[in-house]
Amino acid sequence: MNGYYRLIAAFLLGGVTVTGFAPFYFYPAPVATLVLLALLWRTSRTPMQAASTGFAFGMGLFGIGVTWLYVSLHDFGHMAPALAVRALIVLCAYLSLFPALAGGIAALRYFRASWAWPGVVAALWALMEWLRGTLFTGFPWLAVGYSQAPDSPLAGFAPIVGVYGISLLLMLSAAWLACWLENRQNRRFWLWLGSVWIIGFSLQQIHWTQPEGEPVTVSLLQGNIPQNMKWEPEHLAATMRTYVRLVQESPSRLIVTPEISFPLYYEQAPRDYLGLLTEHARSRQGDVLIGLVERSPAGDSYYNTMFSFGASPEQSYRKYHLVPFGEYIPLKPIFGWVIDVLHIPLSDFSRGGLDQQPLNLAGQRVAVNICYEDVFGEEIIMQLPQASLLVNVSNDAWFGHSIGPHQHLQISQMRALETGRYMLRATNTGVTAIINERGKVLEQLEMFTTAGLHSAAQGFGGATPYVRLGNSLLFGLIGLLLLTGCLAAFSGKRKTL
């Protein structure tokens, strides 16, 4: 295959990989596309050709998988169409550098000729995904491990090695299959492949955490406030009427509203209005979580905050992991002009602390995370194992009628798997849902409807290995595979595949 067709094939493979993620949930698709990508890398003439193949794969994956960003930039950020497209292309090109680097290194002659090549490829892939999710505050969206939640046998590894560990095992499986396709006489790859997937299935039968106490009744409210009207002063009264009605219709002890459900500073919220919400929560011996903007006493900083009102003492959680260019502007001397291009209200939030503790609400210990924060599993576990429930509040109205909200739901499913906890999602326009400790969506509201999801959630105690160790096992596995690969490649006794 010449270079031109190779790049087209890699781009298409990246695009097809998107079908492994929500809302499609076809988890075998990334297995097949990564097998073919590994074959393209093995047949590359030079590391540079392999790198360009990895780059094309990334452009297909991200170019199709994160198209919802155009909706955020153009439809709601009012960025000119041409500029929004260019911004999306630049972001996808940056994200594609990581699979390009993995492919370029894996195609080095000494690695490619070694029996340890599948492990090297898998370690490099997982390392690049982790770097992508960490550098410059990180963008871990579409890590291929998410595509295996919740039904793939590989999802059984989530409570042990987390999403990046699943990415490693997925690429390891793909590299083994690629090597078998190249040399069908070598059947040991089938033994290794079968062992990993059987172990994953077996791990799914293990209950790493245990129920604590009786289930708590919960109401997750979906106000369905149009994003283009949310911050308009003339629409504020209608928004507040919507949520007071939804709260007062809620029969539950724990009531959750979405991120910044009331587009107000805390001190601007009418006391009699908050009193109505507090009184209703107390009548249920419970609490209500309300999203508001919190301004510092000096007025020089403000926070994206969830406040609790009700039977428990008032508590709050401030968002820690902010969205670059959405909630703060990095390197203002260089990128300050973005504020004038993107018409995003309150685009310079301050960070809350990383050491915040779970909120004691309705008899549960609730670990709150706001919107984009649940993409970072290593940060979610900072409130565990103390927390008995996870709560994510979001405003995915920024994504419009795209696949973005569904992908975000699948990310929450992975967090539930990693931690062995229920995840409760209250969003403005959807997907509002209850996810159990096995990553299964038990109930959800129809998107773009004004309603409350009234049900029950079980609190859990205990800790999965991932909660206790974080990414330590992942890094140990990456280091072991890379060390083995280097020893096999440069020992002078290399055994070819």
Q: Catalytic amino acids? A: 259, 319, 371
Q: How far apart are CA 166 and CA 131, in angstroms?
A: 15
Q: How far apart are CA 234 and CA 226, in angstroms?
A: 13
Find, among 396, 450, 75, 397, the residue nearest to 239 by Cα. Answer: 450
Taking a C-beta distance cutoff of 8 angstroms, is the pair 280, 247 a contact?
yes
Q: Output the CA angle 442-465-102, nearest 5 degrees.
A: 90
Q: How far apart are CA 459 and CA 438, in angstroms?
A: 13
Find, among 361, 359, 354, the residue nearest to 382 by Cα. Answer: 354
**Which residues touch 363 (CB under 8 Å, ≥6 apart)?**
213, 216, 253
Pull the structure tokens for residue 367. Answer: 């670990």
Pull the structure tokens for residue 310. Answer: 């009700």
Using the structure block, give the residue that is written with the tokens 């301004």. 295
Residues of 441-463 as b/e, b for ≥16 C-beta within 10 angstroms?
Answer: beebbebeeebbbbebbbbbbeb
Q: How far apart are CA 335 and CA 140, in angstroms?
A: 22
Secondary-structure percent of the chain, ordered helix, strand, coil, rounded to 5? 55, 15, 35
Report the Cα–Cα distance between both ends of the chain, in Å, rounded. 22
DSSP classification of residue 72: I
Q: How far is CA 360 from CA 137, 223, 243, 289, 317, in A?
A: 29, 25, 23, 12, 12
Q: What is the largest CA-CA distance in the chain?
A: 79
Pull the structure tokens for residue 340. Answer: 């004038």
DSSP classification of residue 262: S
Using the structure block, give the residue that is written with the tokens 């990128």. 335
- Centre a 10 Å sphere on the Cβ of residue 468 and count the other Cβ atoms it contains: 12
The alpha-carbon radius of gyration of the chain (Å, integer) is: 24
